[in-house]
Amino acid sequence: MTARELQAQKTYENIILTAEQLTENNSFENISVDLICAKAGISKGGFYHHFPSKDQLISLLIGRQMGNLIEERIEPFFNKKNAFALLQIYIDTMVSYMENSPQNVLARCWVALSEHPEMTNAAFAQNFFHIIHKIVVQGKSE
């Protein structure tokens, strides 16, 4: 990677980290691009170079959170539980996380997605469909 590419990657990750930190105490509606830029120490142009909109950034955050949640709390049970138990673990994990996450971040993400389905990005869909597909495949083999 060139120095410029490394700086671009650093800026991209800084935007994501800043947005994640801001969601701990603020609703998505109260987090503006201006606030993200100010906290991240970047220009609006820098933000829009990496994300076409705040909604796309939020969608990415949702995808990452789901991916981490699946990896940490659901994946370890594959091939140890039957498909029905895995589906129950998935549902229980999501509900528990929504109820107990700081400021109900994941719950707010789901609400935002239900109100704005265009925010659903590939990472979010991939995580959701990946886990459901794995459960179905395991169920078929039982």
Mean pLDDT of 82-95: 86
Higher pLDDT, 101 or 37: 37
Read off the pLDDT of residues 108-133 as tens digits, 9 standing for 90 and up: 666 666 666 665 655 566 777 778 88
Pull the structure tokens for residue 119: 């925010």
Read off the pLDDT of residues 4-33 as tens digits, 9 standing for 90 and up: 999 999 999 999 999 989 987 887 778 899
CB environment 19-42: b (16+ within 10 A), e (fewer): beebbeebebeebebeebbebbeb
Distance between CA atoms of residues 22 and 19, nearest Å: 5
Mean pLDDT of 54-62: 82
Please report the pLDDT score of residue 47 as a whole number.
97
Please report the pLDDT score of residue 36 as a whole number.
96
